[in-house]
Structure 1
Amino acid sequence: MTPTVTGSNVTPEEYDLVVIGSGEGSKFLAWTLARQGQRVAMVERKWIGGSCPNIACLPSKNIIHSAKVASYFARAAEFGIASKGYTIDMAAVTGRKRKMVKELVDIHVRVYETTGVELILGQGYFIGPQLLQVDLPDGTRRQLHGKKVVIGTGTRASVEDIPGLATANPLTHVEALELDTLPQHLLILGGGYIGLEFAQAMRRLGSKVSILERNANLLHREDPDVSAGLETLFREEGVDLVLNATVEGVSGVSGQSVTITYKQDGQTKAIEATHILVATGRTPNTDGIGLELAGVELTASGHIKVNEKLETTAPGVWANGEVAGSPQFTHIAFDDFRILRDNFAGGNRVTTGRQVPFALFTDPEVAHIGLSETEAKKKNIAYRLFKIPMAADLRTRTLSETRGFMKALVAEDDGILGFTVFGVDGGEIMSAVQIAMIGHLPYTALRDAILTHPTLMEGLIVLFSSMPTTVAAK
């Protein structure tokens, strides 16, 4: 929708850089250029610092850690600790998260002050090429013209056009992170990253949890052993999995009582819950910001169209992060910042060919870098598969965290093609392998390394010393 621009005598203010949306890539770019002496304005509608410190990565991991502590209480006898039981104070759990968020926002505000970036809180939108108007909370407006303009407005949770869903007022991850009372029965639509992390956390904190997923498996794009491992984990922890199910309708109001009607294996079924959490994908925040007035085009998926240098179709305008279709990870948005920073200084960096690591913060974690087995087979790439159970990593036995496995794909020249771990602290283990891949080290460098005993990283010696299975290209 094109914003309405009314007549005004407002004189545009000139800046070297104007940024709309203060997410990961945008804020670091603004701070960096301001430190170099450039005049920089940052326009932010609500979340100072973007979604990660406010409503996404860090707050969710804060809640997940509280749930991890609760799981230790539930397993106290396993560690030889007598316990008479425990209760969950959800308001206190959420309070710990809010305290962290406030501290993070305060840090961001101080950085804006010390770098000299002008932080402008308001609703920003284009009214012409490289020209933005900002509606301020006090009812006034400002116009900002940038020699360079960067768009970093991010994405939001998608709410699909399912009969009754919108009127049921479902939770998204934003509202789920603000719960002061535990849902009696939380029904999560979607078996992807967000849905799985919330499902396990809320189950461990005491909610009954059901996941309704349209595909036949959780994380259906990952290798079958990853999906199977997660499904076993969730069922063992008491999460009800409803797979290969398509939602047909919703009735009731989330927070009170809701009924979901769905079709599974040709049959129409229903499930009742007290709350719904929608976690079925993300929608780019491109509507209502006047992109057509700026000459900025969109892709078929609704993301801002950019090239490998993050340049939009409008001269002098760039985009970064999720709104530009970059992989939906904060660490990728940070790399987008580095690409823009270097190219603004005359460099020639591109988004193509970069590594995209990920970690799913379930317990145990799932982490991956490089080529998966599914991708290798699809591309007819031959590989040697090294795979061990996490129990073979002796540190896991001291922690009573032996669930899962780790595996690596190795090329004929001994280079590491990819690595996946489903295990305790999987993200940390994966990062060690990623560093080896960055350095183009052969797998034998890890196999023959002297790593401290007993640590989780030592398991990499066990992994690469195991007998591989050769998978030939078709």
Structure 2
Amino acid sequence: MKEFDVVVIGGGTAGISAARAALEKGATVGLVEMNRLGGFALYPGMILLQMLRDATQRGASLEPLNTLKAQAAEQSQHALKGIEESLQSENIEYIQGKGRLGEGGRIQISHDGETTEWHARKTVIATGSLSKPISTLPFDNHQIQPVEHLLETLELPSVPLVVGGDRAALETAYLLKSLGSKVFLVNDQTRLLSGQDPDLSGALEQSFKKQKIKLLLGNRIVSILKEDRGIQLTLEGGIKFSAENIFISAERLGRTQDLGLREANVELGSNSEIWVNE
């Protein structure tokens, strides 16, 4: 069994930063990641968005969506390789697998039917979050999806609906509009980025209107009807329209399921977030 001063479970931006911070303090460090290193920062959709921004600034024409997706995936893979090489040079041991807390500082790591066990004096949980489904809009992995699954859409929807008013929702709406879609954005708050400065929210709303992104603020979806060619939606107040796909960015759930946290007496909140004492 390998021994470490610190093991970080989660290899996104926060997890990698935590691993490097522990290393700087002289600790021996192990890093466990279930899927791929880099987290949301290396999500091909984020890279695709940056590509669109760069093209817009240069005044360049956009490639077809499938071409852009392939380029973004290639850049993401290249960045991933760079992170892996960097961790290796820094002597941070990385293993792919699902980490789970065991007894006495043990961490069980499972991958492809095999289990490895590490031991850590201290463990850092940095597993991130995932989209929480809305009761009236359950995910179906086809017509209704979280925004992070946008690139899994086989074809660009001509009339998508984005639900939410946070950064991820706005970037998704911008991305879809840049690719030529007619975009609706619904948010139950009366302004975008409701927790930010009102002047910023106002400027964003004006920008979206100039881009002809249809904003339906202060509205809540009360019913949907799925059909073969799209989804019929009804908002509060009786507003009705249709969309081909719905991409949701709403409340987040802590990605803390099946980590052995409750067995380790770690207190979790109603959205599976970890409660801390500092």
After TM superposition, give the deviation of residue 166 of structure 1 in Å.
2.2
Q: Secondary structure at the match of 1:293?
A: coil
- Verify: 1:257 aligned to 2:230, yes or no: yes
Query: Which region of structure 1 is more displaced relative to structure 2, 122-131 or 280-289?
Result: 122-131
- The answer to whether the 8 Å contact 2:52/2:62 transfers is no
After TM superposition, give the deviation of residue 67 of structure 1 in Å.
5.9
Cα distance change, pair 15–182 in 1 and its aligned pair in 2 (3 A): same
Q: Distance in 2 between matches of 1:168 and 1:33?
A: 38
Cα distance change, pair 116–222 in 1 and its aligned pair in 2 (3 A): closer
Alignment of 1:79-118 (within 5 A): 88-118=63-93
Deviation string for 1:22-55 (max 9, x for gaps)?
Answer: 1223213324545776442211100212222235
Structure 2's unaligned 5+ residue stretches are none
After TM superposition, give the deviation of residue 69 of structure 1 in Å.
5.0
**Aligned to 2:114, which of 113, 134, 140?**
140
| 1:411 paired residue number | none
Cα distance change, pair 257–99 in 1 and its aligned pair in 2 (3 A): same
* Residue identity opposite 1:196 in structure 2: L
Q: Secondary structure at the match of 1:165?
A: coil
**Aligned to 1:280, which of 226, 250, 258?**
250
The alignment's TM-score, normalised by the length of structure 2, stands at 0.88
* Residue identity opposite 2:72 in structure 1: K
Alignment of 1:278-317 (within 5 A): 278-308=248-278
After TM superposition, give the deviation of residue 223 of structure 1 in Å.
3.3
After TM superposition, give the deviation of residue 165 of structure 1 in Å.
2.8
**Aligned to 1:221, which of 195, 198, 218?**
195
Deviation string for 1:275-313 (max 9, x for gaps)?
Answer: 1111113221112211012221124553212233xxxxx
* Residue identity opposite 1:52 in structure 2: A
- Verify: 1:199 aligned to 2:173, yes or no: yes
| 1:469 paired residue number | none
Q: Secondary structure at the match of 1:149?
A: strand
Percent of residue pairs bearing the same amino acid type: 25
- The answer to whether the 8 Å contact 1:129/1:293 transfers is no
Q: Secondary structure at the match of 2:233?
A: strand
Cα distance change, pair 87–42 in 1 and its aligned pair in 2 (3 A): closer
- The answer to whether the 8 Å contact 2:52/2:178 transfers is no
Q: Distance in 2 between matches of 1:296 and 1:64?
A: 42
**Aligned to 2:139, which of 166, 169, 175?**
166
Cα distance change, pair 268–95 in 1 and its aligned pair in 2 (3 A): same
- Verify: 1:30 aligned to 2:19, yes or no: yes
After TM superposition, give the deviation of residue 13 of structure 1 in Å.
3.8
Q: Distance in 2 between matches of 1:168 and 1:179?
A: 9
**Aligned to 2:101, which of 112, 115, 126?**
126
Q: Distance in 2 between matches of 1:272 and 1:101?
A: 34
Alignment of 1:360-379 (within 5 A): none
Q: Secondary structure at the match of 2:75?
A: helix
Q: Distance in 2 between matches of 1:276 and 1:233?
A: 22
Q: Distance in 2 between matches of 1:124 and 1:273?
A: 39
Q: Distance in 1 between matches of 2:242 and 2:69?
A: 26
Q: Distance in 2 between matches of 1:207 and 1:221?
A: 28
Q: Distance in 2 between matches of 1:238 and 1:126?
A: 49
Q: Secondary structure at the match of 1:196?
A: helix
Alignment of 1:290-439 (within 5 A): 290-308=260-278
Q: For this pair of structures, how many residues does the alignment match?
A: 277
* Residue identity opposite 2:231 in structure 1: V
* Residue identity opposite 1:127 in structure 2: G
After TM superposition, give the deviation of residue 250 of structure 1 in Å.
2.9
- The answer to whether the 8 Å contact 1:157/1:281 transfers is yes
**Aligned to 1:45, which of 30, 34, 41?**
34
Deviation string for 1:143-187 (max 9, x for gaps)?
Answer: 22201111100111222122x532374232322145564221110
Q: Secondary structure at the match of 1:208?
A: coil
- The answer to whether the 8 Å contact 1:153/1:286 transfers is yes
| 1:212 paired residue number | 186
- The answer to whether the 8 Å contact 2:139/2:146 transfers is no
The alignment's TM-score, normalised by the length of structure 1, stands at 0.53
After TM superposition, give the deviation of residue 203 of structure 1 in Å.
0.9
Q: Distance in 1 between matches of 2:150 and 2:54?
A: 15
Q: Secondary structure at the match of 1:147?
A: strand
Q: Distance in 1 between matches of 2:103 and 2:3?
A: 14
| 1:371 paired residue number | none
| 2:47 paired residue number | 59
Q: Distance in 1 between matches of 2:227 and 2:212?
A: 25
Q: Which structure has more RCO (C-alpha within 8 Å, separation ≥ 6)?
A: 2
